Structure 1
Amino acid sequence: MHRLVAVLSAILLLAGCAGADLAKQKFPRTTIPANAEKVSDPTGTTRTTPAPDGEPVEPAFASDKMRLIDPCELLDEEVLKQFGTPGDQSRSGYARCSNFMKDKAGKDLAVTVETGQTMTSELKNADKQIAGLRSHEQTLENSACFVSVITQDKPGLGITVQIGYEDGDACTPGRVVAESVVKRIREDPPTREPVKGSLITLDPCALPDQAAIDTAVGADRRVYPYGLHNCSWVGDDRELTLDFRATFVPRDRDFDDKQTEVDLGGGVTGYQVDSVTAFPSCEVKWVQLVGDENKGEVVEVKSAGPKESQFDRCATAVAFAKGLVGKIPKA
């Protein structure tokens, strides 16, 4: 089990059933030329016209809808039982859920689903289909398979099902679970009701004022959304990142030994950490919500740039954070 978890975690940092029973199952595959841009409709047919920039391949996969999907509810227990005995669910962040189960022979089988993932190489190399959507498969050390389904072209977004299975065909259950996930989102999406003040519905690329972004990185910059809750703006010699996170919140708010407190206005205290590396940065974070067992939501702003770029990274991060605080709903 520990090795499986370590293998899956390693790939996430770089990106994102008995054998006999699995072998009997057949999965139709459609090969799509790598140089053809295609999207799919709910009927399962493949069209050659890509979705417009910022639009999903189907309305069900729109970003505002996907932010509210409960990933743990996507892991259908009846589907998992085809491959063994489901275990307890483990939620991570807004969009990821795992089930560390046992196959029919009692061996470890880890199943993880993550929604709203940024797709780059997966988009380029998607040469298969699952439930009518383009898909891509990647294996790792013969013990893990990552089945990614494309839900948006520009920027590339999708859903990934990760299977950790050292002693069997990991991609076979991955395809079954991925198909089940796609169908559930289309037909009966399990949505969450956000609590007051939650960050979950906010688009980090759209929320800040353009003037604030200009001040932080310059008017001539490029925007890079990452997933559904992270956005970066990159200028000629500096960059800025905004991240909304569902995470553990320490009772004493001691996120880092080097942090210092800063007043962000509106009664909000920020926690600033200056990092001197080959690519110096300054991060300012503050707590938006705290729930049971110290689970909460945090906003993180980071200003960074190469050493030769002479600007005050902490002043940049703090100024941007101050402008953002008033735009985020209060809890």
Structure 2
Amino acid sequence: MQPLPPGEPRQFGRYRLIASLGEGGMGRVLLGVSREGRLVAVKQVHPAFAHDPGFRSRFKREVETSRMVSGAYTAAVMDADPVAPLPWLASVFVAGPSLKEAVDAAGPLPLSAVHYLATGLASALAEIHRVGLIHRDLKPSNVLLAADGPRVIDFGIARAAEGDTDITHTGSIIGSPGFMSPEQANGLPLTPASDVFSFGALVTMAATGRAPFAGASTPQTLYNVVHSAPDLTNLHPDLRRLVEPCLAKDPKARPNTAQILDFLGSVQLTATPWPPAVHTMIERQQAEVRTALALPVPKEPRKRPKWLIPTVAAATAVVLAAVATTVVLTKREDNPTATAASNTSVPPPDPLSAAALRRVDPCTLLGPNSLPKSGKLLTTTDPDPQYDRCGFYFDRSAEISGSSFVSLQLSVLLPGKKGQPTKVGALDAIQSQESNSCSLAVSNPAIPDYGIEVSATRTAQTSCGIAQEAMNVLLAKLRDNPAPYPNVAKTLREADLCAPALKKPLQDATSETLRSEGHGLHECNWQGRNNYLLGKMHVTVPDENATKVGDSYLTVKQEGDSCVLAWTFPQHEPGWWDRLNVFAGTTTTSSGAKNCDSARRVLDVVVNAIKPRG
């Protein structure tokens, strides 16, 4: 665990970040604290994956399934956002070293500890397989040793990375050579038996300190996995009887998790299941967490964390975070070509259009008595304008440990969303229910592929009723053209960054033929030889690394062949600034410096087309 360096963002969505836990092939892991005080491990996906729409789709699907996994020996997925500029997920934080760290520090585990480990791993795999997932990357670093038992992490997430990205190429396989199955090494379709093979390799490594197929090089290791017998030297006979069938080359010859658990029998639980050195590592990490929690919280923007400006490596299809700021694109005398939709102060005729939804504060759409069937709403959570989202607690939440909650979001991506097709009035909808929560997403006919979502958490019997009542109230309120944000005309909230009037000046500035593709309410991708992603947001302070330009601030981040500019406008209402992000990513061989020049020209065009009124 490492402290966050000065200047590092301290907020990630609804989580306050307090330390860095490490970084792997899939991304970076940070220690965070939820608003409810729950410790979480936040995994921010590597920027090089973010530009691939296929990865995002797979990531969303796998995360949704992963959230169905429970059990004593898994680290439950609590939250995720596959459409964020850098997709991320948050899971329950587990204090303890990985199996790799434990074996490296303390040597092979004793027989009793291996038996405990094997039982926990088999139980975790049984739960993962129950919901239809295959772990695909079960390895020593994805097994944590907590004081009360092992935990399997990152289940199902490796599936999202098996595609064509800057890191993985078409047909490539994500996994660890010494612990993947022969069928995975050969790129064949996988079944749960693949995880059983990895389980056998893990148990062997834990008991002997060495993977059973380890070779002098990665190619040699993969060859051993596919063709050679495992090295089970020094393995206890009881463990050998467990491991040998798990490491069969033929998946059909391997036992399933139920058979493994039957073989292992009951566990003799003790207060210290691991070697003393491992418990010392656990206690050390717990102490580090207590120290990190005791540090003063740096003053950071509460509602617009700076991580929403993606790092430059966030490649060409990142959707720049956009959000609770209002933009008016209008004609300016000093740039007659940069015109846009005028008269936006008049509410548009379609209350579900993007122009109408940009103006609406979601936190004003429900009041204390809006849901008479479900109960009185007592508390509003901090708004999350990054996603046009707001949450509300019921007055009985204190009685049921804060589990009575309803949230609404004005723009959600619908393709690939799992659930039961249904109707809300004449509108198509998708309803998804879990153990004690329910979400209802209504398709918005004015914004293809996007919708409005309400989710509720209380009990399995009541959560869907709450969501349905809240959705009906929400749609009725929107159709009444609710009051806009205060001073909406003085902010950048209303701007359409895909406005047709921007096309010609942007093409003139870039010398490219461009086409636009909107992403929700506040982002647009202008695509040509290069990609120019525009997004807008609302911040409380400029970026601390920004350069002052007149009464505004400019941040430039260049890395490789990509460039990100962030232009922070002066305050138009007390305590707030507007920010416009421009991401330039190449699809050719342009240099990063050249893309920064292009991004600056794009920024100039858009800034000249924005004229907050008043």
Q: Provide the TM-score with structure 1 as the length reference.
A: 0.68
Gapped regions of structure 2 (runs ≥ 5): 1-35, 41-76, 89-348
Query: Which of 114, 130, 133 lines up with 2:424 in the alignment?
Result: 130
How far residue 187 of structure 1 moved from its aligned partner, in angstroms, is 3.8
Task: Give SS of 2:474's match.
Answer: helix
| Equivalence map 1:29-178=2 (5 Å) | 59-80=350-371, 82-89=373-380, 90-93=382-385, 95-103=388-396, 105-107=399-401, 108-122=403-417, 127-139=421-433, 142-152=435-445, 155-165=448-458, 169-178=462-471
Shift of 1:205: 0.8
Displacement of 1:215 in angstroms is: 5.2
Aligned to 1:313: 595
Superposed displacement of residue 148, structure 1 = 0.9
Distance 1:212 1:120 in 2: 32
SS in structure 1 opposite 2:609? coil
Q: Which amino acid aligns with 2:557?
A: D
Partner Cα separation in structure 1 for residue 487 and residue 372 of structure 2: 30
Report the equivalent of 1:181: 474
- Deviation, 1:178, is 0.9
Distance 2:444 2:420 in 1: 12
**SS class of match (1:67):** helix
Asked if 1 retains the 8 angstrom alpha-carbon contact of 2:393 and 2:404, the reply is yes
Q: Is 1:271 the counterpart of 2:554 in the alignment?
A: yes
Distance 1:296 1:249 in 2: 6
Hey, what does 2:78 align to over in structure 1? 7
Of stretches 92-101 and 213-222 in structure 1, the one that deviates more from structure 2 is 213-222
In the superposition, relative to structure 1, how do residues 186 and 209 fare at CA in structure 2: closer, same or farther (>3 Å)?
closer
Question: What is the TM-score with the length of structure 2 in the denominator?
Answer: 0.39
Shift of the 153–2 alpha-carbon distance from structure 1 to 2, 3 Å rule, reads farther
Corresponding residue for residue 166 of structure 2: none
Report what 1:239 is aligned to.
Answer: 531
Paired with 1:87 and 1:194, the residues of 2 have a C-alpha distance of: 26
Closer, same or farther in 2 for the Cα pair 1:284/1:59, shift >3 Å?
A: closer
Give the aligned residue type for 2:405.
A
SS in 2 for 1:65: helix
Partner of 1:26: none
Identity %: 17
Shift of 1:81: 5.1
Select the structure of larger CA radius of gyration: 2
Structure-1 separation of matches of 2:526 and 2:590:
16
Report the Cα distance in structure 2 between the residues aligned to 1:209 and 1:64, rounded to whole angstroms: 16
User: Distance between the aligned counterparts of 2:459 and 2:589, measured in 1?
Assistant: 47
1:126-167 deviation line (CA, Å, top 9, x unaligned): 821113211112346x35433111122653332111224477
Aligned mates of 1:102, 1:10 — CA distance in 2: 28
Write the letter of the residue equivalent to 1:324.
V
Between the aligned partners of 1:110 and 1:155, the Cα distance in structure 2 is: 29
Alpha-carbon shift at residue 66 of structure 1 (Å): 2.1
- One-letter code aligned to 1:186: R
CA contact (8 A) 2:368 2:378 kept: no
Note closer, same or farther for the CA distance 1:307–1:210 as it changes in structure 2 (3 Å cut): closer
> Is the Cα–Cα contact under 8 Å of residues 488 and 494 in structure 2 kept in the other structure?
no
CA distance, structure 1, for counterparts of residue 38 and residue 436 of structure 2? 10
Tell me what 2:568 maps to: 286
8 Å CA contact 2:503, 2:514 repeated in 1: no
Q: What is the rounded CA distance, in whole Å, between the counterparts of 1:154 and 1:66 in structure 2?
A: 11
Equivalent residues of 1:284, 1:317 under 8 A apart: no
Q: CA deviation at 1:209?
A: 2.8
In the TM superposition, what is the alpha-carbon distance from 1:319 to its structure 2 partner?
1.4
Greater strand share, structure number: 1
CA contact (8 A) 2:531 2:587 kept: no
* Structure with greater proportional helix content: 2
Match for residue 249 of structure 1? 540
SS at match of 1:159: strand
Q: 1:12 to 1:233 in 2, by over 3 A?
A: closer
The higher-RCO structure (CA 8 Å, 6+ apart) is 1
For the aligned residue pairs, the C-alpha RMSD in angstroms reads 3.6
Matched residue SS, 1:77: coil
Q: Structure 1 residues 322, 59: closer, same or farther in 2, change over 3 A?
A: closer
The letter for the 2-side match of 1:231 is C
Q: 1:71 to 1:298 in 2, by over 3 A?
A: same
Greater alpha carbon shift after TM alignment, 96-105 vs 129-138: 96-105
Counterpart position of 1:323: 605
CA distance in 2: counterparts of 1:77 and 1:274, whole angstroms: 44
Partner Cα distance (1:9, 1:103) in 2: 26
Which digits, 9 at most, give the CA deviation of each residue in 1:21-67, with x for residues without a partner? Answer: xxxxxxxxxxxxxxxxxxxxxxxxxxxxxxxxxxxxx9332222222
Name the CA shift for 1:9/1:287 in 2 (closer, same or farther; >3 Å).
farther
Partner Cα distance (1:268, 1:68) in 2: 26
Instruction: Report if the CA contact (8 A) 1:229-1:243 is conserved.
Output: yes
Paired with 1:113 and 1:282, the residues of 2 have a C-alpha distance of 31
Q: Does structure 2 conserve the Cα–Cα contact (< 8 Å) formed by 1:218 and 1:235?
A: no
What is the alpha-carbon distance in structure 2 between the residues aligned to residue 218 and residue 129 of structure 1? 46
- The CA deviation string for residues 147-192 of structure 1, in whole angstroms up to 9 with x for no partner, is 1111226533321112244776533311211111112222463434
* Shift in alpha-carbon separation, 1:288–1:156, aligned structure 2, 3 A: farther
What is the total number of aligned residue pairs between the two structures?
Answer: 275
Which residue of structure 2 lines up, in the alignment, with residue 54 of structure 1? Answer: none
